[in-house]
Amino acid sequence: MANSEYTKPLPRQLEPELTDPFWEGTKRGELLIPHCSFCAEFFWYPREACPHCLQPGWEWVPVSGRARLHTYTVVHQPAHPAFADDVPYAFAVIQLDEGIRMMSNVVECDIPNGLEINMPLEVVFDTVTDDWTLVKFKPLVS
């Protein structure tokens, strides 16, 4: 649900032409990850050339959104006041089933008691403003 009162930091793009497709994808409910057309490896974070083979030719490829919780920290002292009402919250390393790791939050989960390393997760798309939809993860209910 879009919220015009959203005061937390939004993604700050240093190279919008490089990362716009990712954020356009999240608005459509798609998680897109860079995938090298030459060496067929996924990589994260997006950059001009594939870090495995240094070829510039790669594509944004939709992934399953299934993941595991590699590790997490429960934040008690946020570095931005807009997160004050959220503590304690989970700042987490998410390992996608496709192999790459990214930072996110674990939501829809009891913090900290519901968190367990290696627990299965699935992506959720959190539309925080009209322009921005963030990628978060929740426990996978099998």
Secondary element (H or E) of residue 62: strand 58-62
Q: For the chain, how many residues are written? A: 142
Of 28-36, 40-48, 53-61, the window that binds another protein (rule: CB under 8 A) is 40-48
Site membership for another protein, residue 113 (CB under 8 A): no
What is the nearest approach in angstroms of another protein to the Cβ of residue 92? 8
Q: Taking a C-beta distance cutoff of 8 angstroms, is the pair 125, 108 a contact? A: no
User: Interface residues for another protein in 78-107 (CB under 8 A)?
Assistant: 78-81, 83-84, 86, 88-89, 91-93, 101-105
What is the nearest approach in angstroms of another protein to the Cβ of residue 37? 21
Q: Taking a C-beta distance cutoff of 8 angstroms, is the pair 93, 119 a contact? A: no
The CA distance from 111 to 90, in Å, is 7
Site membership for another protein, residue 3 (CB under 8 A): no
